[in-house]
Chain A
Amino acid sequence: MTTRMFGQKIKRREDPRLVTGNGRYVDDLGAGALVAAFVRSPHAHASIVDIDVTDAIDVDGVVAIWTHEDLPGDAAERLPMLLPHPSIVNPMTGYALARDHVNFVGEPVAMVVAENRYIAEDAAGRISVDYEFLPPVVGVDQARAAQTAVHEGIEDNVAAHYQQTVGDAPGAIASAPHSLELELEVSRSACMPMEGKGVVAKWNTEDGTLLLHSSTQTASGLRAAIAAKLGLPLTKVEVVAPDIGGGFGVKINHPWPEELACACAARALGTTVKWTEDRREHFVSSAHERGQIQEVHVGFDDEGRILGLDVKFWHDNGAYLPYGVIVPLNTSTHIMGPYDIANFNVEWWSLYTNCVIVTPYRGAGRVHATFMMERTMDAIADELGLDRAQVRLNNFVREFPHPMGVVMQDGAEGCLDSGDFLTSLDKLKALVGWDEFEDYRNRARAEGRHVGIGMGAYVESTGAGPYEGGHIEIESSGRVNVWTGLTTQGQAHATVFAQIVADELGVPIDTVHVTTGDTRKMPYSVGTWGSRGGVMAGNALHVTAKKVKAKALKIAGDLLEVSPEDLEIVDGTVQVKGDPSASMPLASVAVLSNPLRYAFDESAKQATQFAKPADPNTPPIKPGEEPGLEEQDYFSPLRSTVANGMHAAIVETDPETADITILKYCVVHDCGPMINPMVVEGQVHGGVAQGVGGALYEKMAYDADGQLLNASFMDFLMPFASEVPKVETDHLETPSPLNPLGIKGAGEAGAIPVVSVIASAIEDAEGFEIRSMPIDPSTLWELRRKHAAGAVPSLHRA
């Protein structure tokens, strides 16, 4: 009997190749291609008066210089608004190359195509752009104040405004025995994939086709967008996402200006044009996230049960809105988290600022939502003098499915489909030592040390549709080729998808070969985002493998003269259940599945026309059948499945330096049955590491002029391994009823509650409110001074 692969800690099959330097990333491709560099706006807000390329055009090795007026047809129009939503009152997107205005530092203004990047940058430095300055809008407060507008005609800077209501929150708060108001803030940050964006656009002059290799999270989406912008039939454009060095959300937006500009240049020049984003470009011209100001009004009873929750928040979406309002929408729909709240109102505004655009970053709005809810839970507990875990317990949803009463980012009603929050909390408390902490605190205090404990719970809608597909082909050698259209940017797709297929087909995992993100084989796909890869492609491949298996058993059944129901596939051999002597290799079934005229090798002879007596009454391929042991199928869920988890941390804050150290970090995670627990743990660890960055280190520092002051890894502080604590994990596996495998997404989970948990723990250590994150030693020390001066209130329990 073959060991079931699903649930096994199979080592990542892609790692030997990737960690020995044999990956093929976008920058490894396109040898000999022309290379692009971009002139970017040095100003946050300005009109372009003139662009003078005279000094640049004569630089040896320069092939072409492009400005907006060189862009052809639709490529010169604004970039698409990818995600329309009823909340969007003032849609605005940028151009591939700026037309009359620049709206953030880093916006592309001109493109130089040259023999190499050095020359391209030399020439870019000689292009002179004459700007007329306009006052910039930096940060949520300025955007709200609307003294200045980012875009002409959008005087209030409001891109989108929306409200969702369940019950009567203001009424419930007014009549509640207790109420609280909180003002909260999460700062702007960004994901930092090791590989930035990049594109190799290859125009084939012989057949008029464009092949794009891009560091993208959606090959199919980019293909459609580029074909539309270039006015090409879809069949003339293909997109491949090769190895990708991390995505974390930023590579889901498309087409990026550089992708479109390079594609235009490749076609115009009849050659290959390549662009590789450098780190500074990634800081100032990809996308950021996280920045929000929030107001919470909550009413609750003596046990801390929330009776009404009324929330307003203002979201900084940067200069344009190409990816719609997914981030604030996710925030608004995830605030209630794992809690049963009968009266809920959320109203939000998404605002233009003269800063880098905002698109989803791992967690995608849920980090902010969790911050609001978990800060509120802690505040309620402190107000009532109750244990923070108990207050959460008193509010948990206990029955599933639990309709949330809000419409999610996939357009469907949100619903907590599965989970067991009480068990999760028990596991978390045991893991972190919640009930023993006061003893530890007292011992530490006796040594002059400040320690604190915090926790945070979250839910995450994962595995959003509309669909994902699978294509499986078994070659006559027995090799199993697997394709799915979504892309891979470091996830273990080659491992976990192979596990699913190997299980269903009953073949050794070594024979299964997975390819992702190639529109030449799988044109129908959506992309890799929102913790959906495993749920969507995993289930698509599961159903596809079932179809292939059914076909194989039917063919084998005809030959073995047994009913397909009496057959099974074990270790790549089709055999009669209970009688392994009656069998044939799956490879032979593959040979016979494709009636041949020509024998290309020994095994193929079995399928040729004279290999066996022909049945004069049926054609070699019967009506309704297809040659080949090959099938394609799709999975499309009713709605997103909602994963959940809880984190807890113990921190120490230095009484003198205010330095913050995470002593212990614990995660209880429920993504349903785990395809590969090792991969899930890796996802959780990576997510926590990014969460630690968001809690203690990472923040985009814009000055009043809209200049990003820390656009390098020297000043934008991503935590090193030395700053990330050991992450202790425990799992709960409550299956989702929404898909055949019962799985829920795991990609973003680790990152979501960390900011909240660290805030909770620091607050507990310090004895005063923490309302804004991230926090660093200097900020904490300044808060201590304010607290000492009475400007920051103490906790009741302090």
Chain B
Amino acid sequence: MKPSPFTIHRPTSVEQTLELLSEFGAHGKIIAGGQSLVPVLNMRLAAPEHLIDITAVSGLSDIVVHDGDVEVGALVSHARLEHDERAHAAQPVLRAALKCVAHPAIRNRGTTVGSLAHADPNGEMPMILALTGGHVDVVSSRGTRSLEAAELNVGPLETCLESDELIVKAVFGGLAPGQSADFAELTRRTGDYALAGVGMVLSADPDTGELTGLRAGFVSVTDLPDILDLGGVVAGTQRAEAAALVPTIAQAVEEFVDPVGDIHATADYRRHLAGVMAGRVFTGLISGAVPGRETEEAA
């Protein structure tokens, strides 16, 4: 459980980082919080010759709420984002999900952008990026590009990032007026990967209370952070009558997800659980117990 030999580099600017990435190509690997990478190195499941430690790079540590969206620099830890009040006001599902990311000690070091780059379908944040309609800003010595979640994630633990590219920022979409959002998962133990997790953004007419849209994303039961649009199920229903929709939503979710059985749970159980969790999140959202964004001013 000791890593293979590697050389560590500590650039202080994005430019230096990009130069190193260009130089080492597939032999280089970015390390920030190291919460996923270090175990992989210690178990020798990966043996990059060069680690590019970006923790000293300036300009990557900010959380900015801009136009209602939450911009998260590459060095922002899960814990900082979890406890950021402005981010929480703009998009409460961030805190709801971040509370479920492993344990506090891991959240203190692990970065949210690192989680996105790792693209683990058991991770909460790739799904949250998709659920909120967010994107990542990517730079390389060749230029910059912006990738939506659906573009970024191409497979389990696989992104479309080239070896010379660096995610500098993730942008999570905020709640629009009338929207509310929440996340729930069931784990074996506190802080474990979810057996199934569900995030939802519910849209309603702020004046009439009539539901207008519902989006759902999943953890541990889909390979990619695919979003299920349940707008057709809820549209036109009054909030007060929406509880009757729970079985339909659960069924739609069970049909949508594609879980794999493993030593912790069967595929059928995970599918069932995704439906249950979806029903619970939806029930919370329509009850109003989950604070949403009611008016333009509330943000």
Contact = CB atoms under 8 A, between A and B. Distances in A.
Interface stretch (B12-20, B265-273, B285-293): B265-273
A720 B195 contact: no
B45 to A, nearest CB: 11
A709 to B, nearest CB: 5
B188 interface: yes
B269 A659 contact: no
A136 B258 CA distance: 32
Contacts of A710: 263
Interface string A107-129: 00000000001100110010000
Nearest to B275: A656
B186 A777 contact: yes
Contacts of A117: 2
Contacts of A777: 186, 188, 195, 265, 269, 273
B192 interface: yes
A280 interface: yes
A722 interface: yes
Interface in A533-575: none
A778 B269 contact: yes
Nearest to B263: A701
Interface in A704-729: 709-710, 712, 714-715, 717, 719-720, 722-723
B189 A657 contact: no
Given A280-B43, A701-B263, A121 B2 contact: yes
A701 B263 CA distance: 7
A36 to B, nearest CB: 13
Contacts of A121: 2, 44
Interface in B248-273: 263-266, 268-270, 272-273
Contacts of B272: 781
B191 interface: yes
A127 to B, nearest CB: 14
A782 B266 contact: yes
B263 A122 contact: no
B227 to A, nearest CB: 23
B43 A118 contact: no
A118 B2 contact: yes
Interface residues of chain B: helix, strand, loop or mixed (majority): loop
Nearest to A702: B263
B190 A720 contact: yes
Contacts, number: 62
Contacts of A14: none
Interface string A765-798: 0000000000011100110000000000000000
A723 B190 CA distance: 8
Nearest to B3: A118
Interface residues of B, number: 26
A776 B276 contact: no
A660 to B, nearest CB: 10
A782 B263 contact: no
A781 B269 CA distance: 7
A122 B1 contact: no
Interface residues of chain A: helix, strand, loop or mixed (majority): loop
A279 interface: yes
A278 interface: yes
A118 B265 contact: no
B5 interface: yes
A122 B189 CA distance: 35
A778 B266 contact: yes
B58 interface: no
Given A125-B44, A657-B276, A722-B190, A778 B264 contact: yes
Nearest to B186: A657
Interface in B83-101: none
A719 B2 contact: no
B189 A722 contact: yes
A778 B265 CA distance: 5
B108 interface: no
A634 interface: no
A63 to B, nearest CB: 17
B195 A778 contact: yes
B144 interface: no
B4 interface: yes
A722 B272 CA distance: 25
Contact of B186 (A659, A715, A719, A723): A659
Contacts of B192: 717
A298 to B, nearest CB: 33
A793 B186 CA distance: 28
Contacts of A279: 1
Interface string B34-76: 0000010001100000000000000000000000000000000
Contact of A719 (B44, B189, B268): B189
B263 A720 contact: no
Interface in B173-218: 186, 188-192, 195
Interface of A: 117-118, 121-122, 125, 278-280, 656-659, 697, 701, 709-710, 712, 714-715, 717, 719-720, 722-723, 776-778, 781-782
Question: Which 10 residue pairs are nearest across A and B when measured between Cβ atoms?
Answer: A778-B265, A278-B1, A722-B190, A778-B269, A701-B263, A656-B276, A118-B2, A121-B2, A781-B269, A117-B2
Interface of B: 1-5, 39, 43-44, 186, 188-192, 195, 263-266, 268-270, 272-273, 276-277
9 contacts: A118-B3, A121-B44, A697-B189, A714-B39, A715-B264, A722-B189, A723-B190, A777-B186, A782-B268
